[in-house]
């Protein structure tokens, strides 16, 4: 998915307040978690932006499908265990007190059946009394096709732009990123196509309940999109 843009990921998201989001997540975990441990798995962890702050309070591990992003995460956090795996079917052979899937990554499952499969897979990795926390991608009502978007990097050694116009095909949001990157070696142009399913909050909740979780909704969440909090019964 980020085959060519992985080295640019942290540059484009340098303004994301991972520290504040980790603080908010920490408070919600403290409020809802009933299991006694502190193990945490970050599914679709990317380059480990949240892990940098969550590791202060939790025994963290990360999982992602993208090799390029994982390489960066491992360089940034050499003492953290990272796994390559698909959120649909990974099996680490153990459970965690908290499993999180943040920053809209859940949208990449694309369809309701795959959403249910991914939630079931993640829920199987949660201790009794532990939590599965999912930050949703935009809902069908919130996603606006035809909107132009852009992110820009202006540093001494690199200038970069990432632009797209949002679209929808068969209930799936289509994000065709166009990159223009200038360095001392020249100017590079490339594209990446990202497809994310547009699910209602009810569909997220139904998937979590189907996985046997007790479901709570935090409407604000980490960046205004809300959070689905599922607790594994028992303690």
Which of helix, strand or coil describes residue 105? Answer: helix
Question: What local confidence, expressed as pLDDT, does residue 185 receive?
Answer: 96
Residue 143 has, within 13 A of its CA and on its CB side, a CA count of: 24
Q: Which long-range contacts (CB under 8 A, 24 or more apart) does 161-167 make?
A: 162/5, 162/8, 162/12
What pLDDT score was predicted for residue 187? Answer: 98
Q: What is the predicted pLDDT for the residue at 2?
A: 86
The predicted pLDDT at position 25 comes to 98
145 with 166: CB under 8 angstroms?
yes
CA distances from 16 to 23, 28, 43, 101, 121 (A): 13, 19, 18, 16, 28
Identify the pLDDT of residue 145: 97
Domains of the chain: 6-139+199-231 (3.40.50.150), 148-197 (2.20.130.10)
Residue keyed to tokens 């390029």: 68
Name the CA radius of gyration of the chain, rounded: 18
**44 φψ region: left (φ > 0), alpha (ψ -120 to 50), beta (else):** left
- Residue 195 CA neighbour count, 13 Å, CB half: 8
SS3 at position 116: helix
Dihedral over Cα of 43, 216, 111, 197: its sign: negative
- Please report, in tens digits, the pLDDT of each residue of the chain (235 residues total): 788 999 999 999 999 999 999 999 999 999 999 999 999 999 999 999 999 999 999 999 999 999 999 999 999 999 999 999 999 999 999 999 999 999 999 999 999 999 999 999 999 999 999 999 999 999 999 999 999 999 999 999 999 999 999 999 999 999 999 999 999 999 999 999 999 999 999 999 999 999 999 999 999 999 999 999 999 999 7
Burial of 166 (0-12, 13-18, 19+ CB in 10 A): middle
Contact 179, 161 (CB under 8 A): yes
């Amino acid at each position: 998915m980020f085959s060519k843009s992985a080295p640019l990921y942290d540059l484009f998201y340098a303004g994301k307040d991972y520290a504040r989001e980790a603080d908010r997540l920490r408070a919600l975990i403290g409020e809802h978690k009933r299991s006694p441990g502190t193990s945490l798995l970050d599914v679709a962890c990317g380059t480990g932006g949240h892990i940098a702050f969550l590791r202060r309070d939790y025994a963290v591990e990360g999982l992602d499908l993208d090799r390029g992003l994982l390489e960066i995460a491992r360089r940034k956090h050499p003492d953290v265990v990272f796994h390559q795996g698909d959120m649909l079917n990974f099996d680490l052979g153990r459970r965690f007190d908290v499993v999180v899937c943040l920053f809209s990554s859940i949208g990449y499952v694309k369809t309701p059946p795959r959403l249910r499969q991914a939630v079931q897979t993640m829920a199987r990795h949660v201790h009794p009394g532990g939590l599965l926390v999912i930050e949703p991608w935009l809902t069908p009502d919130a996603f606006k096709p035809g909107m132009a978007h852009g992110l820009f990097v202006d540093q001494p050694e690199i200038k970069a732009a990432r632009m797209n116009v949002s679209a929808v095909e068969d209930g799936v949001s289509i994000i065709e990123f166009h990159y223009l990157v200038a360095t001392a070696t020249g100017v590079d142009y490339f594209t990446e196509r990202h497809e994310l399913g547009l699910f209602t909050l009810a569909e997220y909740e139904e998937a979590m309940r189907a996985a046997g979780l007790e479901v709570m909704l935090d409407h604000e969440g980490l960046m205004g999109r809300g959070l689905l909090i599922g607790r594994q019964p028992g303690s």
